[in-house]
Amino acid sequence: MAPLQDFIKTLVSAHPIFFCLCLLLFLGVVNAMIAIFVAHLSTWEHPVEIPRIREAKGKRTFSFRTRLAYHTDAKKLFQEAYEKVYTFFFRSFH
């Protein structure tokens, strides 16, 4: 076996509580890093010229309600975007 596998096997068999605590600590750190990354992504501001569905004119970010709709009912959100934004621009240029 590889030295790392031997070490983990020894650690689990000798100190299962310590191993569980280390595993929980590791998962907590990974979870915190993911939360910080997601929070950073959600604060990006986009140009004002790009229209946003379900948002007030001039807004640079999406609201929580729109983000939630994207994850729970994306089909309806994309249909609304197509009807309100795409068809408006398509009609205005022809």
What are the residue ranges spanned by the domains of the chain? 1-44, 48-94
The reported pLDDT for the residue numbered 33 is 93
The reported pLDDT for the residue numbered 88 is 65
* Average pLDDT estimate for 59-88: 83
How far apart are the C-alpha atoms of 72 and 79, rounded to whole Å? 14
Residue 76 CB coordination number (10 Å): 10
Please state, in angstroms and as integers, the Cα–Cα distance from residue 71 to each residue in 8, 12, 44, following that order: 39, 39, 19
Do 54 and 80 contact (CB within 8 A), yes or no?
Answer: yes
* Average pLDDT estimate for 66-92: 80
Please state, in angstroms and as integers, the Cα–Cα distance from residue 26 to each residue in 13, 41, 49, 74, following that order: 19, 23, 43, 34
Tens digit of each residue's pLDDT (9 = 90 or more) over 3-57: 888 877 877 777 778 878 888 999 999 999 998 888 777 767 777 777 778 888 8
pTM, two decimal places: 0.44
How far apart are the C-alpha atoms of 7 and 17, rounded to whole Å? 15
The reported pLDDT for the residue numbered 26 is 93
- Higher pLDDT residue, 93 or 22? 22
Do 31 and 19 contact (CB within 8 A), yes or no?
Answer: no
The reported pLDDT for the residue numbered 61 is 78
How far apart are the C-alpha atoms of 61 and 41, rounded to whole Å? 11
The reported pLDDT for the residue numbered 18 is 81
Six-digit token string for 64: 């929580």
